[in-house]
Chain A
Amino acid sequence: MAAGVAAWLPFARAAAIGWMPVASAPMPPPPRDKRRGQDGLIILNVSGTRFQTWRNTLERYPDTLLGSTERDFFFHEETNEYFFDRDPDIFRHILNFYRTGKLHYPRHECISAYDEELAFFGIIPEIIGDCCYEEYKDRRRENVERIQDDEENDNNKDMVLPDMSFRETMWRAFENPHTSTMALVFYYVTGFFIAVSVMANVVETVPCGSGPNRAKEVSCGERYVLAFFCLDTACVMIFTVEYLLRLIAAPSRYKFVKSVMSIIDVVAIMPYYIGLVMTDNEDVSGAFVTLRVFRVFRIFKFSRHSAGLRILGYTLKSCASELGFLLFSLTMAIIIFATVMFYAEKGSSASKFTSIPAAFWYTIVTMTTLGYGDMVPKTIIGKVVGSVCSLSGVLVIALPVPVIVSNFSRIYHQSQRAEKRRAQKASKQTGQALVCKSNPTFETQHHHLLHCLEKTTNHEFVDEQTYETSCMEVSLAKPSMSRSSSLSSSPHGLSSCCTRRNKRKSFNVPNSYMADGRRSSIQELSTIQIRERPMSNSRSCLNAKFEETVHLNSEEQSYITAAVISMPTPPVTTPEGGDSASSPNFLQSNIVRVSAL
């Protein structure tokens, strides 16, 4: 919309005639129009394909190659055209950017070729329109990752960074077992012991034949108590040592302790220690036995060794709501059928359906088509209800499952995309803010328009900070405080006429024009733009026409447009020090009024 808005400026200015009769102060003189040359057609010859456009179209973006005098380097006298030895297919999109203000990314093009063309023509990729921006970023990231992966595979063997501390080495060894032999050995040893421990838990409940002086069979665990105890001790030793080592090596211990894996580790080894501490008391032995169940959690330690388990856990977590809903609908159906079944079978003698909760079991077994047969309806109504139950069971269970499966993939991809987008947005806004510039003539005229508005209403634009200051203070502000407050970086940048509209179709943001002709006149505000820029390497920097950048807090991305009003007291910032031809217009306080112009 950048081009379009400039086209409407004459209408807006003409409409300003409507303010004239009600104005309470004389109007500022209009800016001197930089004489634009006659608008002519420019021929751009890109590797044989001729493109033509108006000169004004190209000059909308004066900080790109085509919009500035840099294109003169490519002028070909014999044919009176500009010749570029580049790809004409991609050039088409670049030229469309000048025409429409939106840069699109063609999906069939290679991302690196596209990036090269953009870099050549001086266009920053952040201005790619919303329609194509995601795709562009995705492709770019894939490319970068691919390059990185290739590099990693090459450098994997010799990734010894000598300046890593011992702690960091250990942590790296724990996280990536294939980085060193020691780590690999450790990895396999722990894996082996996890398997051994789980097997021991399983085997100790197997009946092992009758003991020597007992009649009934005992489990292996009770027969070979000492052996199993030794095995258990050994495993717990290893697990404890591993946990402690990880705790020491972790870069952020607090985060490590909070993580799921460490909780599993703790739960896996706790029962042993609790068993050691507790005496052989009759009351607590029951609880102690329960505690041994937790030993099975050791199997979850395998998830460190298996990426698939981790993904499964993550997807289950992210689909918790869907699973919950499935459970809820099943519960509803179970309750309904169980109730009906109970009342249907109430009449029959020796019915197993003694209560509704008892009927729950039948309903579940029927709905999941298990059909154990331990509870069977005898009455006719009961049988009818039972058949309806089993038919609906198939539906109720079969229907949500594909939904859940598709939800899995949808939610998984969605959360990934949302994170991507959030990360992209931040960089995109800053890039966009920098790049969306409009031509200086438009800026001058737009500001003159706003200036007229100020004169009409006899009020002035100020930044939010001084507005609040003036609200809070009854008397005039003290000079020193006001000076520092208004020029110190206002956190949200100035509500300059143009900066706040980043969110809308912004047609311009930081203005780079200088009040050239106005300096001479005494009766006015000399407007000096102090632009604060977060990144200073962009091409736009170089073409900016302001005369001095005041370095305010460079951490904040604030675009400050300050108007230093020539005032009796020495002004805070004037690039031209002596140009403070004081104007008695300035009535009120010594606040440096930071006008939006």
Chain B
Amino acid sequence: MKMSSRRRRCKRQLIKFTQHIARLITGTLSSDNEDEEQESTTVRYHPENLEQLQSQTHFSRQELQLLYRGFKNDCPSGVVNEDTFKNIYALFFPLGDSSKYAQFLFNAFDKDKNGSLSFEELVCDLSVLLRGSTEEKLNWAFNLYDINNDGQITKEEMLDILKSIYDLMGKSIHPRLKEEAVRQHVRMFFQKMDMNQDGVVTIDEFIDCCQKDENIMQSLKIFDNAV
């Protein structure tokens, strides 16, 4: 057995060697033989038609046109992937590090979790956030905070979210950011929201508490004219 395998190996080596010599003599370069063709892997995606989007969202026709034109300008392929989204979001917060928060946002927008945002997903979420009822908005916010989508916000999830929001500010802030400040913020949040004190916030607790808080209700309306 061993003899034959060794012989086979020898033969293979010999063949390779003669090939090498032949190539040397004839002067062919190794790169000539390789025929690599890069297949272009562009993803082209186009959204559903305008009427359907109009019916699904609260936007008017002109507004949808405006939004799509801007979207298409930046993402000609029709979808936004996570990196592009992070880059775009970073442009709005040049002082801080927006990558973590952008990631949470991306996951919140990406309903079908396929790693890219299509125009419909964006526009549907946008219509909820800008034109939806307060309950829908709070629902969306809860989904944003609930990183693992288990229906509950734990202290760790809240800590992550808050840290990413504080990261958006960057370093040069006043007063100086202390480690404790974020935890304090988390504690305040849980004190307010966690009614049955079980350490997690469920969606009903969340919506109830927010609806009772005047400030939050007021602030949910400030972006209503954003488009």
Contacts and interface: CB of A to CB of B under 8 A. Distances in A.
Contact of B169 (A11, A30, A459, A500): A459
Nearest to B193: A21
Contacts of A9: 92, 226
A8 B88 contact: yes
Interface string B206-227: 1000100001101110110111
A4 B172 contact: no
B171 interface: yes
Contact of A461 (B88, B173, B216, B226): B173
A6 interface: yes
A542 to B, nearest CB: 27
Contact of A507 (B70, B91, B93, B210): B91
A183 to B, nearest CB: 58
B172 A27 contact: no
A534 interface: no
Contacts of A505: 91
A591 to B, nearest CB: 8
Given A17-B129, A453-B168, A470 B176 contact: yes
B215 A26 contact: yes
A500 B94 contact: yes
A596 to B, nearest CB: 7
A5 B71 CA distance: 10
A156 interface: no
Interface residues of B, number: 60
A93 interface: no
B162 interface: yes
B175 A15 contact: no
A464 B166 CA distance: 17
Interface stretch (B1-9, B26-34, B38-46, B136-144): B136-144
A596 B95 contact: yes
Q: Which of B93, B108, B158 has the most CB of A within 10 A?
A: B93
B80 to A, nearest CB: 10
Contacts of A495: 95, 170, 172
A13 interface: yes
Nearest to B167: A457
A517 interface: no
A456 B165 contact: yes
Given A27-B219, A39-B66, A461-B169, A33 B174 contact: no
A457 B166 contact: yes
Given A453-B169, A501-B91, A459 B177 contact: yes
A3 B73 contact: yes
Nearest to B214: A26
Interface residues of A, number: 59
A5 B91 contact: yes
Contacts of A467: 171-174, 176
Interface string A179-203: 0000000000000000000000000
B70 A4 contact: yes
A498 to B, nearest CB: 7
B69 interface: yes
Contacts of B168: 453
A22 B188 CA distance: 9
A446 interface: yes
Contacts of B73: 3-4, 7
Contacts of A445: 226
Contact of B175 (A13, A22, A588): A588
A212 interface: no
Nearest to B91: A5
Interface of A is mostly: helix
Interface string A408-447: 0000000000000000000000000000000000000110
Contacts of B140: 17-18
Interface string A541-584: 00000000000000000000000000000000000000000000
A21 B138 contact: yes
Nearest to B75: A4
A120 B188 CA distance: 59
Given A6-B70, A10-B126, A30 B223 contact: yes
Given A23-B216, A23-B219, A504-B91, A14 B70 contact: no
Given A39-B66, A459-B175, A10 B144 contact: no
B129 A14 contact: yes
B145 to A, nearest CB: 8
A17 B126 CA distance: 11
Contacts of B97: none
Contact of B141 (A5, A21, A30, A454): A21
Contacts of B89: 12, 15
Contacts of B195: none
A14 B144 contact: no
B161 A466 contact: no
B11 to A, nearest CB: 32
Q: Which of B88, B95, B126, B219 has the most CB of A within 10 A?
A: B219
Nearest to A28: B222
Interface in A219-271: none
Interface in B147-179: 158, 161-162, 165-166, 168-177
Q: Which of B70, B71, B185 has the most CB of A within 10 A?
A: B70
Contacts of B174: 459-462, 466-467, 470, 593
B70 A13 contact: no
Contact of A10 (B88, B170, B222, B226): B226
Given A500-B94, A501-B91, A501-B94, A17 B223 contact: yes
A161 interface: no
A463 interface: yes
A14 B89 CA distance: 12
B53 interface: no
B114 to A, nearest CB: 19
Interface string A373-409: 0000000000000000000000000000000000000
A24 interface: yes
A20 interface: yes
A29 interface: yes
25 contacts: A1-B74, A5-B88, A14-B125, A14-B129, A17-B137, A18-B140, A18-B145, A20-B220, A21-B138, A21-B206, A22-B189, A24-B185, A27-B218, A30-B225, A446-B92, A452-B222, A457-B166, A459-B174, A461-B172, A466-B174, A467-B173, A470-B175, A470-B176, A497-B95, A593-B174
User: Sorted from nearest, which 7 A-B pairs have the closest CB atoms?
Assistant: A7-B70, A14-B129, A27-B219, A4-B74, A459-B173, A462-B174, A501-B94
